[in-house]
Amino acid sequence: MTNMLHEFTISFLHKHVDEMIEKLNLHGYYNLYYDQPIEQFTEENGYGFQEVLDADIDLKIILEETAQSPVNVEQAREQIASVLNVDRETIHYEPIEIQDWQQPFPIIDLQNGWKIRPTHSEEEVGGRVIHFEPPRAFGSGLHETTQDCLRFILREDLRGKTVLDVGSGAGLLSISASLAGAEKVVAIDMEDVEAEVLYNAGLNGVEKRISIQQVDVLDPTIKVDGLFDWICVNIAAKEIKELYPFLDSHLVSNGHLLLSGMLDWNFKDALDLYKNYHVDQISYSDEWVTALLRKK
């Protein structure tokens, strides 16, 4: 059992990071991480990113201490300095308590009577709750578009309805549709998320209402059977345009289409393609746009 963590930090130009990591790996140091320096820019489909090679980065080297394997801090610092051929004084050291190692996913109040409660939380939560095991990639919260989609879904009475969740990820939208009364929910994703979705669904007692398929809906050879009363899509404007034939062919007449992941500079272009739909409502969260459409 890990008693504590020891963090050693050294700064240098990003363009040297691969060389430094290779040296450390050769000497048995594998628990390494750094924040990649990137520049963000806007483009037609949202945001683009590019690496900044001439920026300084802080490379973190983590050593775990157990009762059987204590860490000699000064000796470790000397070894790291020798491996990287740097002055030991340039290596910063900080002990880390285990409970401080990962920022906890917070309880999220959707401001509509519902809350998202991560499984690790010991805090008592009143009202209506969605229990959720956050993937590591979620960091410290839910994206604005996910929260907006949840608010749209959870206000509805979906009893007797069928729902298709396109790009389901960990299954929050599928679970919320089930909690709103949906009779059947199909969650589809390019990745294999079945175990994750069913686990989260089980935390909320709705696992029997949700089925999962691993498919790429942009692949014309892939088929998803059935028509749906509701379809939820939280991706990006370009993909929302590309998905139009698939979405339109799987939604019943007068059915609802929830589109999110668009931005205030590209959502109109995306929605222009959905000419046979009525826009019931548009929600804005900063630059992010969510729209609820109804098929005419």
Provide the token pair at 101: 């190692």
Q: What is the mean pLDDT of the chain?
A: 90
With a cut of 70, say whether residue 101 has pLDDT above it: no
Q: Which of 282, 256, 280 is nearest to 157 (CA)?
A: 256
Each residue's pLDDT tens digit, 234-252: 999 999 999 999 999 999 9
Could you tell me which residue, 96 or 2, shows the higher pLDDT? 96
3-class secondary structure per residue, 147-216: HHHHHHHHCCCCECCEEEEECCCCCHHHHHHHHCCECEEEEEECCCCHHHHHHHHHHCCCHHHEEEEECC
User: In whole angstroms, how far apart are CA 176 and each of 151, 152, 187?
Assistant: 9, 10, 12
Q: What is the pLDDT of residue 273?
A: 95
- pLDDT value at residue 103: 53
Residues forming a β-bridge with 117:
131
pLDDT in tens, 195-223: 999 999 999 999 999 999 999 988 888 88
> Which domains does the chain carry?
2-100 (3.30.70), 108-295 (3.40.50.150)
Answer yes or no: is pLDDT of 295 > 50.
yes
How large is the average pLDDT for residues 16-39?
89
What per-residue confidence (pLDDT) applies to 221?
A: 83
Q: What's the burial of 28, exposed, middle or buried (CB within 10 Å: 0-12/13-18/19+)?
A: exposed
Instruction: Give the pLDDT confidence score for residue 205 in this predicted structure.
Output: 97
Per-residue pLDDT, 231: 99
Between 48-57, 155-164, 215-224, 226-235, the lowest mean confidence (pLDDT) is in 48-57
> Residue 99: what pLDDT?
57
* Residue 293: band (very low, low, confident or very high) from pLDDT cuts 50, 70, 90: very high
Whether the pLDDT of residue 141 is over 90: the answer is no
Say what the pLDDT of residue 75 is: 95
Contact criterion met (CB below 8 Å) for 145 and 105: no
138 — pLDDT class (breaks 50, 70, 90): very low
Mean pLDDT, to the nearest integer, of 21-42? 86
Q: Is the pLDDT of residue 100 over 60?
A: no
| Residue 148 in this model has a pLDDT that exceeds 60 | yes
Q: What is the mean pLDDT of residues 79-88?
A: 95
Q: Which two tokens stand for residue 247?
A: 């979405």
Q: Are 10 and 91 in contact (CB under 8 A)?
A: yes
Q: What is the pLDDT of residues 253-278, one digit of tens each?
A: 999 999 999 999 999 999 999 999 99
Helix 172-179, helix 144-154: angle, nearest 10: 20
Mean per-residue pLDDT, 140-167: 92
pLDDT at 1 (0 to 100): 58
Q: Inform me whether the pLDDT recorded for 185 exceeds 70.
A: yes
pLDDT at 92: 96
Separation of alpha carbons 172 and 147, rounded Å: 10
What pLDDT is recorded for position 137? Answer: 45
Tell me what pLDDT residue 140 has.
42
pLDDT at 63 over 70: yes
Q: Is the CB of residue 9 less than 8 Å from the CB of residue 89?
A: no
For position 52, what pLDDT does the model report? 78
Q: Are 64 and 13 in contact (CB under 8 A)?
A: no
Question: Residue 105 and residue 130: Cα distance in Å, rounded?
Answer: 14
